[in-house]
């Protein structure tokens, strides 16, 4: 889909297409629709990032809480969004052995207890070893540092999801 097609989408169609670029947060795509016309992929991305950054901390934490645990119950039960399922699979989260699954569950639980939201990392930019290592390392962060880091990871995920949706002439504007 090129940028002209994106700009011509109705509100409903825009939200349908872009509603999950930030996991389970169609409100974000709904909010940025009115900022059309976009000049390119980077403009859409910048508008989404600006919207996220303008939210109070509670709103940013809400975005994080929409993300599933990596290799968690949603993966096991098959209830992940299509995008999350592809991303976790690509990172090797669907191929964990029993020891790795147990370690992920423990670390995910510790992380949620410490920060109040799930661990978020751009799975497509990592493999299972890097994810396990970063989950363990990031548990030592201060809460504010970790909130900012997690929001940065949301933006990376969003960028890659946008890239998958908006192709052709906009690729040169990345």
Please name each of the domains of the chain with its CATH number: 3-62+162-173 (1.10.3330.10), 69-155 (1.10.3330.10)
Owner of token pair 């600006």: 50
Determine the pLDDT at residue 168.
43
Determine the pLDDT at residue 76.
86
Cα–Cα dist 148/110, whole Å? 18
Cα–Cα dist 144/108, whole Å? 18
Cα separation values, 116 from 14, 49, 58, 108, 169, Å? 31, 22, 11, 11, 41
Close Cβ partners of 87 (under 8 Å, ≥ 6 residues apart): 122, 123, 124, 157
Determine the pLDDT at residue 153.
98
| Contact by Cβ (8 Å): 142, 1 | no
Determine the pLDDT at residue 119.
98
Cα separation values, 104 from 15, 22, 69, 128, Å? 33, 23, 9, 10
Cα separation values, 160 from 2, 41, 63, 114, 155, Å? 16, 11, 17, 28, 9
Residue-level pLDDT, tens digit, the chain, 174 residues? 999 999 999 999 999 999 999 999 999 999 999 999 999 999 999 999 999 999 999 999 999 999 999 999 999 899 999 999 999 999 999 999 999 999 999 999 999 999 999 999 999 999 999 999 999 999 999 999 999 999 999 999 999 999 999 874 444 444
Task: Note the Cα 127 to chain centre separation in Å.
Answer: 16
DSSP 37: P
| Contact by Cβ (8 Å): 43, 61 | no
pTM over 0.85: yes
DSSP 127: -
The rounded mean pLDDT for the chain is 94
Catalytic residue IDs: 67
């Amino acid at each position: 889909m090129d940028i002209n097609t994106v700009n011509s989408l109705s509100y409903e169609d825009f939200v349908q297409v872009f509603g999950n670029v930030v996991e389970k947060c169609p409100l974000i795509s709904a909010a940025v629709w009115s900022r059309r016309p976009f000049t390119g992929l980077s403009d859409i991305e910048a508008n989404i990032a600006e919207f996220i950054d303008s939210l109070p901390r509670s709103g940013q934490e809400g975005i994080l809480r929409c993300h599933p645990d990596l290799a968690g119950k949603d993966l096991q039960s098959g209830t992940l969004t299509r995008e999350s399922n592809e991303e976790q699979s690509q990172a090797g989260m669907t191929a964990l052995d029993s020891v790795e699954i147990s370690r992920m569950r423990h670390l995910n639980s510790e992380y949620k207890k410490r920060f109040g939201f799930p661990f978020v990392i751009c799975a497509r930019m990592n493999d299972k070893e890097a994810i396990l290592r970063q989950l363990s390392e990031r548990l030592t962060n201060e809460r504010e540092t970790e909130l900012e880091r997690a929001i940065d990871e949301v933006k990376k995920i969003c960028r890659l999801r946008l890239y998958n949706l908006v192709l052709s002439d906009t690729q040169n504007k990345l």
